[in-house]
Structure 1
Amino acid sequence: MTMPDSLKGLNRAETESWILKALESEKPLPLDDLMAVLEHFGSAGIDRRVDGWSELLQDALMQRQDGRGVLRVLALRCVWHAHEPAFKAICAKAVELSFTTRLGKVLFKHAGFDHGGVGASEAVRRMTLLSKLEKGVFCADKTWGFGIVQRVDDFYAKVAVDFDRKRGHEMALAYAAEVLDLVPESHLLVRLHRDAAGVKSMISAKPGELVRLVLMSYGPANMDAIKGYLCGTVMEEKAWKGFWDAARKALKSDPLVHVPAKKTDPLRLLESADDHIREQFALLDALRDPETILKQVDAFEAAGLLAALTPEFRKVVADRLAFAVWGAEDRTPILAARALLTSERLGVVDAGLLGDRRIDMQQAYNRLLEGTSLQDVLQGVPARLMPLLLERFMVLFPVACVERVLALMPVLSVPVLQESLTLLRKGDCVNRVDEALRGLLQTRKASPSVLFCLLRNGQEFASVIGDDISEILHQGLDTLEWPASGEMLKAQHQLRALYESGEWLGDRLDSLNPEQREVFIAKLQSSQGWDETGRRSVIAGIIKRFPELQKIISGKPDATAPKARARMTSWRSYRERQETFRKLMEIEIPDNAKEIAVARSYGDLRENAEFKYAKEHQRILYRR
């Protein structure tokens, strides 16, 4: 709904004077003009002054017992007060006082105002629909198709409708309010009802016009949707191909119909090139849902409508994106992040401020970075936007960004973690990042995603892994046994697939000494992080490359080795040896790995006595 030309140049004070004068007049209220004014000034969301105007108009309509007018005002106010549960009671009171007849009271009772699962906006919509039900009104139902209302029974609270598929069908008012749609006179279904022969003659005579009628009735639709609307009601399916070929040919020469190149993209009607663009931006300006706003802006960009924005349209885009940031950053910060990045990409930010809400871009980014949902934001934004978001954080808050991302490192998904590590290890941050990674390894708190990134990119992280990869390979086996879900479960699958890569694992085992390989394959054999088939496949690949490890798997000595005399031992000695082996595998070797990591952190390994001692101790342990 557009502002009347006579009101477009007025400021708020002048507009308020005009509204008061219109409400005090004894003449019929210019409701359409008043609603256009409210929608225009309330386009950025709730505004106390504009909401006050709407209350005055609502009171004036209630005094005149104009119930449908009251519902129009309430529908708009529900958008402004969408997050205020108490507003439903205000709506209920206004509607109850506006519909005082017996029928009105019955309709009010079944509109859902007293139903906890029905919001204020939906209750107003249902009441609006019920208030328009009367004999002769056209409607449609997904189950029964097109219908005509025959009567509304206020005693039994039912409406009787003659549907195409069921004559005289009675529906409870509460159910009718939920499922029925009202159908205007210009709709294809009404045209079929009034002149079925005339509509069907358009199949051969005016195929292009028939498709235009479908688009006018249902809005933009692709080929499959148009086929669904026409086949079975207007034509048989066997006639579709010939009809569509003729219709498409006719529509390509129609300047007021946009025919896309792809069959899956929708056809849409155009009034004129300029009018169509203006109408699209007016629709964007009326949107109040952040996700819908972003989808529409993306669609505009894909259609090339944002390539050269006029100041008027640029303001619309900036204001809607500002509204998306404002409306989403508390509830759905992922959408707020998308809106911030989109506004910068489109160049609609002025001096660091966005839209008529004057959203401070730096503060908005800071709230995202410091918020409790940073992990969800990084993992929830589209993959193409995630690096851009990290770069913005690094440009605006480099120190805080590094610390926040490092704190989240164990729980980040593999794609986000890889992108984060690549970005954070640039410049002066590499030492801080590597220190954090070494800390996770030393404390054995590295997650499957961290270990996957380190193992997969061994050369890049050589300063973190060091010259002994055995410990990180063992940690990888341990993390495969962790209970996991979501992104961590995906990371486990990726890590397991890495181990199952025979060539990759063989190259890593090549760098180990024989004792380390034996310990690794023994640990692999007892690991619970595999299904039996997968474990056997990995072990088979290792044995193929290192045949001497067969004795660890089979428990049989090497056939080429000289046979030793069997040694006898008591049960007590056997249990002592079992306990010694358990301590060796579960306590002494892990403790030694920590000692090596700590010693490595001291610096130069050539003159590092602690490191040399720890490595010598490791060789002794492996020999045992």
Structure 2
Amino acid sequence: MHPDVAKLVEAGRIPKPVGERLSQLAPGNFCLHKSFGAGKVTDWDLPAKKVTIDFEKSAGQTMELQFAFQKTEWIPADDFRAKKIEQREELRTLSKSDPINLLVHLLQSHGGSMTGDALEKELSGAVIPEADFKKWWDNAKKALRDSRLAVVPQKRTEAIVLRSGDRSPAQALVADFEAARDIKGMIRALEAIAADIGAFENDTDALKRLLSDIDEGAKKAARVQLGQALQLVSARDEVIGSSKALELDPSAVRLSDLLVNADASRLADEAGALPSSRQRAVYEAFPNAYGDEWVGKIVHVFDKVGARGVTEIARILLERDSLPALVTHLRSAIARRALGPDALIWVCRERKGPSQEVFSADVGAAVLNLLENDHLSDGPRKTSRLQSLLGDDKSLLTDLVSIMDVNEARNFGRRLLDCPVFGELEKKSLMARIIKARPETAELVNGSNQKRPEETLLVSWESLEKKKAELDDIVRNKIPQNREDVKIAKSYGDLRENFEYKSAKDMEKYLAHRRTALDKEINNARGTDFKGSDASKVNIGTIVTLEDASGGTVDMTVLGAWDSIPETKTVSYLSVVGKALVGRAPGDEVSIRDEETEQMQTLKVRSIRPFNP
């Protein structure tokens, strides 16, 4: 206790606890302020109840003693933040000569842990020149990780944790696993063990003790977090595979055990989110999980597991001479226009290899169909990579139209020109490639240098009001909310590894795109109630009765551009089915795709009547 303060305590003027806290604010001591940072007390005036502190960010700051009591925290003279005030040059020298010692000292001063962002804030500029910090930190981080003195995560927003005690490297790695609070922490700890398996050369008993914990964790996670359970078991297998002294117990949980009990759609979603190496391990477990049915099971999830999964599954099927099953699946899915964007990208990229048998004119139709449907649907776009592939792969369209006959090539070119996904310049660029390969399609772009007027869309009043309501919601609610989401996510720091920020920015792009599209569509739309439509032929606003070869009949209603309702057999006049029907008269035959079987069928127009007489 400071002598001047001790006199006040002895005289009974202040309680002893207050005296001890007051002594911490005596000249020469160090303290911490939330806004001003670390500081050194330079003077005080007890009668006037004033204290003067030289803060890192505000020198000569005079405060009321009561305010300093509440807003500052005492730190010892050997605290890293205190040394930044009086021994900064020594710290700068240490950062060059012994960066690990510097980092350990910094972590100790922060209670043993701090995030990468907080560490950069503490060092960059003050101790290490801002321009040099990234390079310095990359080297220092690797050295700190190799020293095993601290747990160094991959993400800057996660805490770097100083290991305590005099443990061996192996003991420290095991302790990290045992200290993990969740499955993700266990996975990270196992990855660290696998990367440093040499530390266990003379201490495999510690690893053996972990195996039962992993089994228990995987069983629990499988019920609600299948993806994490798959990751955990895969990471365990990597550890076992890298150690000659470890063997998997016959009763241990295996990837095949998790697959057998998993729902197919859930499995596809969870597996598709895994890293490539882990996905491969999961797909390689299919034969053990499903026996003779494994090929059918893996083909079933092929186009649902994302880009990485598609590549891995195709590679496994190729290696095991089971590619014909995939070819059969792809041929059927392409014909039904049921193949997803990642699978279609794979088909296009591997067109001179494994997918050569299925690369046909139907692939072009499937690509455009998927782009159009995605453009008209709500939510973030799913086909951006597919659209980019058409532009980036200079020979894709050439190869595609080269295998088409003249009519197929013309129809494909015509549909591309009508596709709302592409801008005018992009359409011209893509058509130039088509025309170069198939000169017969040049007639499609005659006069295309003159901008074609937008065709007015005929829509129902109900669908028009729905579009207006969606636009109003975007402008009034979603865009303002997204601005706040971006601000909040940005505050989390480290934009390079900030998933929330990237997600918010993606939504920002989507909302801007959707707003522009809705503005354009609404301005170009004309509402109608379809009253008095001409029923001598199939027109917009008519109900047509179609008859199949067996005599069965079905009614289909052709309405406005935004009025497709599959459940009630209502189609838009702009849809493939709508375009096939419009203009047909009783007695005409029309080929359309069955919505349930996805097979082409020929139907006869039996009768036509107005939707709203």
TM-score by length of 1: 0.51
Pick aligned residue for 2:105 from 204, 216, 226: 216
Pick aligned residue for 1:460 from 354, 358, 362: 354
Change (3 A) 1:276 1:449: closer
Pick aligned residue for 1:586 from 580, 584, 591: 580
Change (3 A) 1:237 1:586: same
Q: Deviations over 1:456-482 (max 9, x none)?
A: 3335335545xxx22332222111112
Unaligned regions of 5+ residues in structure 2, if any? 1-19, 42-52, 241-245, 449-535, 541-572, 582-588, 603-613
Partner residue in 2 for 1:388: 281
Kindly indicate whether the alpha-carbon contact (under 8 Å) linking 1:256 and 1:271 is maintained by their aligned counterparts in 2. Answer: no
Kindly indicate whether the alpha-carbon contact (under 8 Å) linking 1:477 and 1:529 is maintained by their aligned counterparts in 2. Answer: no
2:188 maps to 1:295: yes
Q: Secondary structure at the match of 2:277?
A: coil
CA distance in 2, matches of 1:371, 1:184: 59
Kindly indicate whether the alpha-carbon contact (under 8 Å) linking 2:296 and 2:325 is maintained by their aligned counterparts in 1. Answer: no
Letter in 1 for 2:433: G
CA distance in 2, matches of 1:406, 1:210: 52
Partner residue in 2 for 1:544: 436
Kindly indicate whether the alpha-carbon contact (under 8 Å) linking 2:190 and 2:236 is maintained by their aligned counterparts in 1. Answer: no
Q: Secondary structure at the match of 1:481?
A: helix
Change (3 A) 1:471 1:365: closer
Letter in 1 for 2:364: L
Unaligned regions of 5+ residues in structure 1, if any? 1-131, 150-160, 557-574, 600-609, 614-624
Kindly indicate whether the alpha-carbon contact (under 8 Å) linking 2:259 and 2:286 is maintained by their aligned counterparts in 1. Answer: yes
Partner residue in 2 for 1:80: none
2:248 maps to 1:350: yes
Partner residue in 2 for 1:503: 395
Kindly indicate whether the alpha-carbon contact (under 8 Å) linking 2:331 and 2:358 is maintained by their aligned counterparts in 1. Answer: yes
Partner residue in 2 for 1:479: 370
Kindly state the Cα deviation for residue 313 of structure 1 after the two structures are TM-superposed: 2.4
Within-5 A mapping of 1:376-455: 376-398=269-291, 401-424=294-317, 427=320, 429-455=322-348
Q: Deviations over 1:198-240 (max 9, x none)?
A: x86676799858973552331699999988646776x6969x9
Letter in 2 for 1:397: Y
Letter in 1 for 2:279: M
Change (3 A) 1:237 1:456: closer
Q: Secondary structure at the match of 1:381?
A: coil
Kindly state the Cα deviation for residue 321 of structure 1 after the two structures are TM-superposed: 3.8
Kindly indicate whether the alpha-carbon contact (under 8 Å) linking 1:162 and 1:168 is maintained by their aligned counterparts in 2. Answer: no
Partner residue in 1 for 2:257: 363
Q: Secondary structure at the match of 2:38?
A: strand
Kindly indicate whether the alpha-carbon contact (under 8 Å) linking 1:500 and 1:537 is maintained by their aligned counterparts in 2. Answer: no
Q: Secondary structure at the match of 2:436?
A: helix
2:229 maps to 1:336: yes
Pick aligned residue for 1:524 from 416, 419, 431: 416
Change (3 A) 1:522 1:212: closer
CA distance in 2, matches of 1:409, 1:237: 50
Letter in 1 for 2:413: I
CA distance in 1, matches of 2:215, 2:164: 29
Change (3 A) 1:316 1:414: same
Kindly indicate whether the alpha-carbon contact (under 8 Å) linking 1:499 and 1:538 is maintained by their aligned counterparts in 2. Answer: yes
Kindly indicate whether the alpha-carbon contact (under 8 Å) linking 1:480 and 1:496 is maintained by their aligned counterparts in 2. Answer: no
CA distance in 2, matches of 1:474, 1:553: 19
Kindly state the Cα deviation for residue 345 of structure 1 after the two structures are TM-superposed: 1.6
Q: Secondary structure at the match of 1:329?
A: helix
CA distance in 2, matches of 1:555, 1:206: 69
Change (3 A) 1:212 1:399: same
Kindly state the Cα deviation for residue 370 of structure 1 after the two structures are TM-superposed: 3.0
Letter in 1 for 2:236: S
Kindly indicate whether the alpha-carbon contact (under 8 Å) linking 1:293 and 1:320 is maintained by their aligned counterparts in 2. Answer: no
Letter in 1 for 2:368: L
CA distance in 1, matches of 2:92, 2:447: 81
Partner residue in 2 for 1:535: 427
Q: Secondary structure at the match of 1:452?
A: helix
Larger % of strand: which? 2
Kindly state the Cα deviation for residue 380 of structure 1 after the two structures are TM-superposed: 1.3
2:181 maps to 1:187: no
2:206 maps to 1:308: no
Kindly state the Cα deviation for residue 514 of structure 1 after the two structures are TM-superposed: 2.0
CA distance in 2, matches of 1:171, 1:470: 81
Kindly state the Cα deviation for residue 341 of structure 1 after the two structures are TM-superposed: 0.8
Kindly indicate whether the alpha-carbon contact (under 8 Å) linking 1:452 and 1:494 is maintained by their aligned counterparts in 2. Answer: yes
Q: Secondary structure at the match of 1:529?
A: coil
Change (3 A) 1:486 1:457: farther
Kindly state the Cα deviation for residue 401 of structure 1 after the two structures are TM-superposed: 4.8
Change (3 A) 1:304 1:139: farther
TM-score by length of 2: 0.52
CA distance in 2, matches of 1:232, 1:554: 62
CA distance in 2, matches of 1:319, 1:335: 17
Kindly indicate whether the alpha-carbon contact (under 8 Å) linking 2:217 and 2:229 is maintained by their aligned counterparts in 1. Answer: yes
Kindly indicate whether the alpha-carbon contact (under 8 Å) linking 2:577 and 2:593 is maintained by their aligned counterparts in 1. Answer: no
CA distance in 2, matches of 1:392, 1:134: 67
Kindly state the Cα deviation for residue 375 of structure 1 after the two structures are TM-superposed: 2.5
Change (3 A) 1:589 1:455: farther
Partner residue in 1 for 2:586: none
Larger % of helix: which? 1
CA distance in 1, matches of 2:332, 2:193: 47
CA distance in 1, matches of 2:36, 2:124: 16
CA distance in 2, matches of 1:268, 1:475: 51
Change (3 A) 1:399 1:257: closer
Change (3 A) 1:590 1:341: farther
Kindly state the Cα deviation for residue 397 of structure 1 after the two structures are TM-superposed: 2.3
Kindly state the Cα deviation for residue 539 of structure 1 after the two structures are TM-superposed: 0.9
Kindly indicate whether the alpha-carbon contact (under 8 Å) linking 2:194 and 2:238 is maintained by their aligned counterparts in 1. Answer: no
Moved more, 331-340 or 317-326: 317-326
Change (3 A) 1:228 1:425: closer
- Identity among equivalent pairs (%): 15
Kindly state the Cα deviation for residue 524 of structure 1 after the two structures are TM-superposed: 1.9
Change (3 A) 1:324 1:502: same
Kindly state the Cα deviation for residue 583 of structure 1 after the two structures are TM-superposed: 7.8
Kindly indicate whether the alpha-carbon contact (under 8 Å) linking 1:441 and 1:472 is maintained by their aligned counterparts in 2. Answer: yes
RMSD of equivalent CA atoms: 5.9
Kindly indicate whether the alpha-carbon contact (under 8 Å) linking 1:502 and 1:538 is maintained by their aligned counterparts in 2. Answer: no
CA distance in 2, matches of 1:272, 1:321: 25
Kindly indicate whether the alpha-carbon contact (under 8 Å) linking 1:291 and 1:335 is maintained by their aligned counterparts in 2. Answer: yes
Kindly indicate whether the alpha-carbon contact (under 8 Å) linking 1:522 and 1:552 is maintained by their aligned counterparts in 2. Answer: yes
Kindly state the Cα deviation for residue 391 of structure 1 after the two structures are TM-superposed: 0.5
Kindly indicate whether the alpha-carbon contact (under 8 Å) linking 2:148 and 2:172 is maintained by their aligned counterparts in 1. Answer: no
Letter in 1 for 2:288: V
Q: Deviations over 1:87-124 (max 9, x none)?
A: xxxxxxxxxxxxxxxxxxxxxxxxxxxxxxxxxxxxxx
Within-5 A mapping of 1:110-125: none
Letter in 1 for 2:81: L
CA distance in 2, matches of 1:335, 1:591: 44
CA distance in 1, matches of 2:100, 2:391: 58
Q: Deviations over 1:377-405 (max 9, x none)?
A: 22211122211211023333245654444
Moved more, 545-554 or 382-391: 545-554
Q: Deviations over 1:273-297 (max 9, x none)?
A: 9645434433432222322232233
Partner residue in 1 for 2:37: 145
Letter in 2 for 1:479: L
Number of residue pairs the alignment of both structures matches: 415
Kindly indicate whether the alpha-carbon contact (under 8 Å) linking 2:302 and 2:309 is maintained by their aligned counterparts in 1. Answer: no
CA distance in 2, matches of 1:416, 1:206: 44
Q: Deviations over 1:112-145 (max 9, x none)?
A: xxxxxxxxxxxxxxxxxxxx99984987555332
Moved more, 380-389 or 397-406: 397-406
